[in-house]
Amino acid sequence: MAIKATVYKTDLQISDMDRNYYRNHALTLALHPSETIERMMIRLLVFALHAHEDLAFTRGISSNDEPDLWLKLPGGDIDSWIDLGQPDEKRIRKACGRAREVFIYTYDQRSADVWWKQMCNKLDRFDNLHVIALPGDTATSLAQLAQRSMTLQCSIQDNEIWIGDERNNAHVVPEVLK
């Protein structure tokens, strides 16, 4: 019998002063058996950064044809393709051909630095690609917020992010690589 995903429910209150976006989102996140709590919480953070009523979590880690999140237009075209980690060049090329904008968020700083040094010249030609590095302690800080039922507040201003609950907070300053 296969191990099933663990379900997390989140009430996420977003105040994004950079985009003038203020909304609450009731989200259900499925923690895939092969996924860590840290990675799931990074998905949640990235959702907050791109929040939109049509932004959706996908099968992500269990699918080669879908990103971790995407924003699809009513006709089915992909507006935003959002991946986490360090995808290979072939996957990035495919994403850039399918979506108006592609975002990659790296979060394991040591291996991400090595990955970026190998990939930066190969990816320079993609004008619709954005690569963002999250600081090394981000995953650990976010994991402290994880509960099966969460109420989180997220404030975004001047490319700085504060996310937390009544007990813990995480402060994140992403670095734009491309």
Q: Is 23 a domain residue?
A: yes
> Are residues 45 and 38 in contact, defined by beta-carbon separation less than 8 angstroms?
no
Q: What is the pLDDT of residue 60?
A: 60
Q: Is 1 a domain residue?
A: no
Q: Is 141 a domain residue?
A: yes
Q: What is the mean pLDDT of the chain?
A: 91
Q: Which CATH number is 171's domain given?
A: 3.10.640.10
Q: What is the pLDDT of residue 119?
A: 87
User: CA dist 47 to 12, 32, 93, 141, Å?
Assistant: 10, 17, 22, 17
- The string of pLDDT tens digits covering residues 79-121 is 999 999 999 999 999 999 999 999 999 988 778 888 899 988 8
5 or 177: which leads in pLDDT: 177
Q: Is 24 a domain residue?
A: yes
Q: Is 113 a domain residue?
A: yes
Q: Is 52 a domain residue?
A: yes
Number of domains in the chain: 1
Sign of the C-alpha dihedral, residues 103, 108, 110, 114? negative
> Are residues 152 and 11 in contact, defined by beta-carbon separation less than 8 angstroms?
yes
Could you tell me which residues are beta bridge partners of residue 56?
Answer: 70
pTM: 0.91
Q: Is 165 a domain residue?
A: yes
User: Domain containing 56: what range?
Assistant: 6-176
Q: Is 81 a domain residue?
A: yes
